[in-house]
């Protein structure tokens, strides 16, 4: 066997001829990875990234202060520290409910997606570098794929840094570390938030592709954010739902009851067309592990209202396993994935059909 391997036509001779050729073959990375690496470096070293990181850190410190203060007030009334760490993200001042970490992130995290996506393509066009970029030995779709991947990576970095900042401060102030279930819930919440912000990143990328001026895409992006997130969460969605499907005030017959149920289902569907509603529902289920059966609700649509009616001490009592919470938020996650996919697909198609001239 050794003799056959050493002879000129043997296996070792063939390996000696092939191995050097394989080692000298150049390896080309996918084009989107090259662009993503370059964009990530530009984002991380930019003033925009530093300003957003400081703003997110300061914004997270305010809800964190009130949450930790309330936990210390309720410390004498709880018998177990189970899920107390999650209360850092769900408790806030009684008079200002929006000063909670989860609510604050739901309101202002879309700004990250808009900030890193509104000028991702049109700035290349305005500076005259887009024709040079697509003339390189890469596919055209690598440009938009790489820019979207870079923005998503930087957003993930910012959100993870914010959660670690809140968690570290909570460990120091409260004096105990989270258990495994709480870590898993926080990890699932971070992934949910990244998915939520990716929708706004895809929307901003679409504006950057469709509009030639970065100022126009930024103005439209921030305007849509104000209408759908700020004003929509307050009264616009409820007003639209009441106009489209008003719920009858009284029900005397079975047909009236069925009409009320259909109207309520239609209103719930209209509200869930907003990614902010989907994110809020899923976020509350992950961070507030309360059993919907014990609260009198079986659907995630009314879990938020049921939780708000509870005493704050019940936030600290874990009743729902992480597996059950993930099953409850699965429809909301699928909705966010579908909305993000549709938005990015629209940006992809528009970019691929555009004519790029030098």
pLDDT at 162 over 60: yes
Which ranges of 288-321 does DSSP label H, i.e. alpha helix? 303-308
pLDDT digits (tens, 9 = 90+) for 120-131: 888 888 887 877
C-alpha dihedral (41, 45, 51, 57), degrees to nearest 10: 70
- CA atoms of 187 and 195, how far apart (whole Å): 12
Least confident of 115-129, 214-228, 298-312: 298-312
Report pLDDT for 339: 92
pLDDT in tens, 258-301: 666 666 666 666 667 788 888 988 998 888 876 544 443 333 33
Q: Cα(8)–Cα(141) distance, rounded to whole angstroms?
A: 48
Looking at residues 127-142, what average pLDDT do you find?
A: 78
Q: With beta carbons less than 8 A apart as the criterion, state whether 24 and 30 touch.
A: no
pTM over 0.85: no
Residues recorded for the chain: 358
Spell out a b/e string for 204-227, using b for 16 or more CB atoms within 10 Å of the CB, else e.
Answer: bbbbbbbbeebeebbebbbebbee
DSSP 316: G
Residue 93, pLDDT score: 64
Instruction: Look at residue 108 in the predicted model and tell me its pLDDT.
Output: 84
Per residue in 188-215, pLDDT (tens digit) is 999 999 999 999 999 999 999 998 888 8
Please, which pLDDT band fits residue 349 given cuts at 50, 70 and 90? Answer: very high
């Amino acid at each position: 066997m050794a003799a056959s391997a050493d002879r000129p036509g043997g296996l070792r001779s063939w390996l000696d001829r092939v191995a050097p050729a394989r080692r000298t073959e150049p390896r080309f990375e996918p084009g989107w990875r090259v662009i993503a690496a370059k964009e990530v470096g530009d984002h991380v070293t930019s003033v925009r990234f530093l300003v957003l990181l400081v703003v997110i850190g300061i914004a997270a410190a305010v809800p964190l202060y009130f949450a930790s203060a309330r936990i210390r007030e309720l410390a004498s009334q709880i018998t177990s520290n189970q899920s107390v760490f999650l209360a850092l993200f769900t408790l806030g001042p009684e008079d200002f409910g929006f000063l909670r970490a989860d609510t604050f992130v739901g309101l202002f995290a879309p700004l990250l997606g808009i900030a890193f996506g509104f000028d991702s393509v049109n700035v290349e066009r305005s500076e005259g570098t887009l024709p040079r970029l697509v003339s390189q030995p890469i596919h055209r779709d690598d440009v938009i794929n790489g820019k979207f991947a870079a923005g998503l990576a930087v957003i993930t970095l910012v959100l993870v840094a914010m959660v670690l900042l809140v968690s570290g401060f909570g460990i120091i102030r409260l004096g105990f570390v989270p258990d495994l279930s709480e870590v898993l819930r926080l990890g699932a919440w971070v992934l949910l938030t990244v998915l939520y912000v990716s929708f706004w990143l895809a929307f901003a990328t679409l504006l950057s592709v469709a509009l030639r001026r970065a100022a126009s895409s930024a103005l439209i992006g921030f305007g849509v954010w104000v209408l759908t997130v700020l004003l929509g969460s307050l009264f616009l969605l409820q007003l639209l739902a009441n106009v489209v499907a008003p719920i009858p005030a009284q029900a005397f017959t079975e047909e009236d009851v069925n009409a009320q149920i259909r109207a309520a289902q239609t209103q719930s569907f209209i509200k869930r067309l907003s990614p902010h509603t989907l994110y809020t529902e899923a976020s509350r289920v992950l961070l507030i592990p309360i059993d919907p059966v014990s609260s009198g609700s079986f659907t995630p649509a009314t879990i938020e209202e049921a939780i708000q009616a509870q005493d704050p001490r019940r936030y600290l009592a874990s009743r729902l396993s992480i597996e059950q919470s993930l099953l409850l938020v699965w429809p909301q996650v699928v909705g966010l994935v579908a909305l993000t996919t549709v938005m990015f697909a629209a940006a992809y198609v528009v970019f691929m059909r555009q004519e790029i001239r030098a």
